[in-house]
Structure 1
Amino acid sequence: MKNLILITLMTIALHSASMAQTSIIAHRGSWKQSNNPQNSIASFKEAISQKVYGSEFDVHLTKDNILVLNHDHDFNGLDVEKSTYQELLAKKLPNGESIPTAEEFIKEGLKQKHTKMVFELKTSRISKERTLEAVKQSIELVKKLKAEKMVEYIAFDWDACLKFRELDKKAKVFYLTGDKTPAEIKTAKLTGPDYHFTIFKKNPTWIKECKDLKLKTNVWTVNSEEDMKFFIHEKVDYITTDETELLTKVLNK
């Protein structure tokens, strides 16, 4: 009887592994079809409504040490890093929202359990020290909100990724720039690479190397059906896209 149960469990496990599917991460929320502003609460809610695996968002540290969402260093003519939060509130997103803080964004995400928050820390143009201070404050915020299980971190700055790992040994941390091999990422104890799709195409063995090293793979920003099919076939763990609706259709075919 014990052997029969063991065989059954192994069969289920193998079947589950074979059915594992590439997951969708909405790039700056789901905004392209809905016309919501990128990095807005509205685009985040739209991503949540689609039940995608995760929604990526970009974070800067203001002059007065408030973590806020915006992709560029400029927000409607204001330099985010050199402005206070109150100064940034004078400007609005196209839908009338104020620039979201990371805190209010994460609190919104904690209202549900199926869509992870993929927290991209933008590299400071002021100094390396400022980037690392932003890492520290990001970790402190996530721990304060008890959101560790719902937040994953990505960054272009290698030292920022290493700092995330130092401050939270269990966090999922991915590196974005594309200049590190899978072996280097494994040595650094990061979760995996999160590289532009052209990087993986130029290095065709890296996806398999990641799998062999038990690293997760994410690829950005994949918006064409042809590229979606290519990376689904390669069995990457996550695809980050502006076209969440299209990718959903491709995965469901």
Structure 2
Amino acid sequence: MFGLISDCHLEEVKYYFSKRNTRKHCEKIATLPVIPEGVKTLLIGGDLCEARDTELLEKTLGYFSNECENVIYIDGNHEFWKEDITKVKAKIQNVVDKFDNVHYLNNNWIEIDGVKIFGTNGWCDYGKDGGVISELNNIYTTMKVPADCRKIKDLSATGTGCKLSAYKVISLNKKAKLAVADFVKEEGKKIILTHFAPFDKAVYDKLGLFNRNFFDVRFDTIGLDINDFKDISTDELIFAHGHVHCENGYNVDGFDVYLNPRGTFFEDMDEYKVLTFSFKS
């Protein structure tokens, strides 16, 4: 059985404690969850904490490492906040290397107990406006980057004031899509773990009803095409992701998709939860 958790945003705990109107939430958010019985492999779908806080990252991954046989971790956009995007992955890898059973995936995959697990942040593709936004990038750099990515630096960039550019985001998204396309050629049972939602049609509200206005599709989905998976059995491929702050699972053309983000300060807080799932057969 697999477990999924994401969007813990642990770096914000100090902020919660500083606000009187959030005191009732402190006990819930200061304690990491008990891993449900039967979970052998835990998937962390990104936004665990800002990677610049390596001590917090190590402490949290250490907890999960002790609780599970295997931990699969991918980064989200918040791991890169207030950091140079070119240096974050190395920081994360340095922490992960301290644990034998924690695996950091970045457009690659690992096989555990006969299941191939692919991991990627994915980033967003800006919907059908991607080409236009890319062309206008030099003029409208900050306006064309998703709001929750504007705190990310890119010190390798020129002409952008070291801010993450839309062109960079699109480039990362294209690399992720190519990696997914290669991965699905593999035989057997597979899980695709992403931070950004895999499909445009990918969000349900807390009542389980599809809600197209829940978030800006262009800025929050990878933009995978469900038709690219039509030759794969729905019993052999599962999608899991984070980023979108609601707790539910849904189905896209027969494929199960799981998400378990927990939200941030401005939302209705709840305790950390680990969603569990298995293959149908």
Per the shorter chain, which TM-score range? 0.3 to 0.5
Rg larger for = 1
- Relative contact order (C-alpha < 8 Å, sep 6+): which is higher? 2
Greater share of residues in helix: 1
TM-score where L is the length of structure 2:
0.42
